[in-house]
Amino acid sequence: MAKKALCIGINNYPGTHMDLQGCVNDANDWAAALAERGFKVAKLLDDQATKAAMVTAMSDLIGKAGKGDSLVITFSGHGTYQPDEDGDEVDGLDEALCPYDLQTKGEALIDDEIRAIFGARKAGVRIVLISDSCHSGTVTRAARAEKDADTRPRFMPMGNWLPAKLLPKDRAGKPATTMVAPAGTSPLMSAYSNKLGDLLLSGCKEGPNNYSYDARIAGRFNGAFTYYALKALKALKEGATYADWHKAIVKYLPSASYPQSPQIVGSEGARKGKVLA
């Protein structure tokens, strides 16, 4: 039984004016923690994490896994949404992860595509998804945790990357560049399968006006969720479960500086599973 992981971290989003600062640190930190627990880790950082590279890496990780294998995928970067083209979204919007070449290539990695990749798995493959991003809302600034810290939600408005002709229209008939989606679930949530025993840990609640924040803590940039999730992980007792881990994380978040509520999604059996076993 193999243990493999893919850690993605994207700070640089050329052409969007929405660069982040803690996502590459997140990916490196997750990779180090997973390697310590026996995982063979691959990483995609900044310009490595094009849409094509993300699709290939996810497809290889999941497609080559066999029964009993344990997989972990972490994503730190912007989330976004775009107009739904196949009619399967009630709110008319597909949720998506933002690759490095989001604006230069004009393509996000949408939930439908991620779901198809995950659907190719063999029976008995266990997957843990860890998302430090947000997928719906308006862009605001978080409270500054430290002097000169430039903290912001990890959400990319459509108007920062989609051409005007592809944007939905507001009530005045003009391109709606910053509209708030009425629903807004993570693409990783869409890929998650309760039936197959998946588990999802995310930095914030699903839906509008919930954010995962880029943070500066102790002089270093990280996702607030990643920082405290890894801090909690180090303090867990031997044999701790995912439910134990989540309980430890929410002792730190939400906070005054980072008003986000980390979530755990999974069956009772998945929640009771041993952390990163």
pLDDT for position 163: 72
Contact 9/25 with Cβ under 8 angstroms? yes
Range list of β-strands (E), 170-277: 199-202, 214-217, 220-223, 263-266
pLDDT at 134 over 90: no
Domain range annotation of the chain? 3-271
Mean pLDDT for 113-138 is: 87
pLDDT for position 226: 97
Mean pLDDT for 195-211 is: 84
Question: In this structure, what token pair is assigned to residue 145?
Answer: 């945790």
> 238-277: buried (b, 16+ CB within 10 Å) or exposed (e) per residue?
eebbbbbbbebbeebbeeebbebebbbbbeeebbebebbe
pLDDT for position 38: 97
Quote the Cα angle for 184-185-186, to 5°: 125
- Residues 167, 174: Cα–Cα separation, whole Å: 9
Average the pLDDT over each of 20-29, 142-151, 245-254 and give the range with the smallest value: 142-151
- Residues 100, 107: Cα–Cα separation, whole Å: 10
pLDDT digit string, tens, across residues 105-117: 989 999 889 999 9
Task: Just list the catalytic residues.
Answer: 78, 134
The residue behind tokens 């993605």 is 8
Closest CA to 75 of 131, 135, 25: 131
- Say which CATH topology domain 3-271 has: Rossmann fold (3.40.50)
Average pLDDT of the residues of the chain: 86
The whole-model pTM stands at 0.87
pLDDT digit string, tens, across residues 59-75: 999 999 999 999 999 99
pLDDT at 173 over 90: no
pLDDT at 57 over 90: yes
Contact 208/137 with Cβ under 8 angstroms? yes
